[in-house]
Amino acid sequence: MNKEKLLTLIQSPYITEKSSAAGELNQVVFKVALSANKLEIKKAVEQLFDVKVESVTTATQKGKTKRNKFGIYKRSNFKKAFVSLKEGSEIQFEGIN
């Protein structure tokens, strides 16, 4: 897998209250491309962050239909990846722009 695809596969860390609680279980949550599969996500995280990945679970979040004074619109769908890290592996997001 080339470096360019790795950089476009993982879009950003997904930080919410629930994902912060998953951090205690040695899990990290990422927003990934809709076309990404579990094996590609595992390889990308291992190569980009230099950690060992135990397992990957994915969930596709459907976009909500919203309404404002201009009419109705739909937010786009996205995929979340719950990455379980092996013991001793850790990813720090502080200081990353």
Question: How many secondary structure helices (H) and strands (E) does the chain include?
Answer: 3, 6
Confidence at residue 95, expressed as pLDDT on a 0 to 100 scale: 61
Task: State the Cα–Cα distance between residues 46 and 69, nearest whole angstrom.
Answer: 45
Give, for all 97 residues of the chain, the pLDDT tens digit: 677 888 889 999 998 998 888 888 899 999 999 999 999 999 999 998 999 999 999 999 999 999 999 999 999 999 999 999 999 888 877 765 5
Domain architecture of the chain: domains with CATH: 3-85 (3.30.70.330)
pLDDT confidence of residue 88: 86
